[in-house]
Amino acid sequence: MLRIDGLNVYYGHIHALKDVALEVKQGEIVTLIGANGAGKSTLLKTISGLLKPKQGSIIFESEDITGRQAQLIVKKGISHVPEGRRVFANMSVEENLEMGAYLRRDKKEIKEDFQKVYDLFPRLYERRKQQSGTLSGGEQQMLAMGRALMARPRLLLLDEPSMGLAPLLVKTIFRMITEIKATGTTIMLVEQNANMALTIANQAYVIETGRVVLQGSAEELRASDQIKMAYLGGH
């Protein structure tokens, strides 16, 4: 579904991504793990058109989308849930979800998708008239994911969905990610909680200082001593 080859991205003089190559198959969850500042968020931003690569290609469903404008990439079927949630604080939950469908004109289907998001996140339905800035961190994460789903993506990019959430809520968010996958949406997941990410993912890539240093099935990486020591707290 997504193929990335020889991707090089710079922030000024800083070489943030170095010859990154990876693949995402349709219907899978692919997770990127690595330390803070390794380049994981940079990769998602480059896929979604927020950053322009210096070299390399991004092929989505056989089409080259390298360096395209962000709104065109959303139209193609890729939605990005950024790190830190970024909900529109002064708008209601409902208005935030409407913003997710901003590029769409199919009113009947938009209505159906509202219902799907509310079925997936019942808490959002309860809070639908509430200002988003007054929601808890977990509710804001649900809203950010729901808003991205309103664009009907075939590929969903999730950046640190569990960041700053209580352990119980982390489990809820991960359960919801697997439910989104079950509806047929392919997911690329960047996550500090490597253990949880590897539990739900099909494939995994380890990024260190802008390079892919390891890749394999999520099971293989969970079993690897190197990964256990570096990312899973040694157990």
Separation between Cα atoms, residue 7 and residue 31, nearest integer Å? 18
Burial classification of residue 71, based on how many CB atoms lie within 10 Å of its CB (0-12 exposed, 13-18 middle, 19 or more buried) = exposed
d(C-alpha 49, C-alpha 67), whole Å:
6
pLDDT digits (tens, 9 = 90+) for 191-232: 988 989 999 999 999 999 999 999 999 999 999 888 888 887
Q: Is 6 left (phi over 0), alpha (psi -120 to 50) or beta?
A: left
Which helix (H) or strand (E) segment is 159 a member of?
Answer: strand 155-159
Question: Half-sphere exposure of 229 toward its Cβ, with a 13 Å CA cutoff?
Answer: 3
Side chain identity at 222, as an amino acid letter?
R
**How many whole angstroms separate alpha carbon 185 and alpha carbon 67?**
23
Q: What is the mean pLDDT of the chain?
A: 91
| Single pTM value for the model | 0.91
Residue with tokens 């020889």: 6
Task: Assess contact for 212 and 21: CB atoms under 8 A.
Answer: yes
* Structural fold of domain 2-231: Rossmann fold (3.40.50)
- The CA distance from 2 to 156, in Å, is 12
Instruction: Please tell me the predicted confidence (pLDDT) of residue 138.
Output: 86
DSSP letter, residue 216 = E
Residue 178 burial (CB count, 10 A): 12
Neighbours of 107 (CB within 10 A): 9
Say what the pLDDT of residue 234 is. 57
Which structure tokens are listed for 192?
């500090």
8 A C-beta contact, residue 33 and residue 207: yes
pLDDT at 86: 84
Which residues does the chain have with pLDDT short of 70?
Answer: 85, 233-235
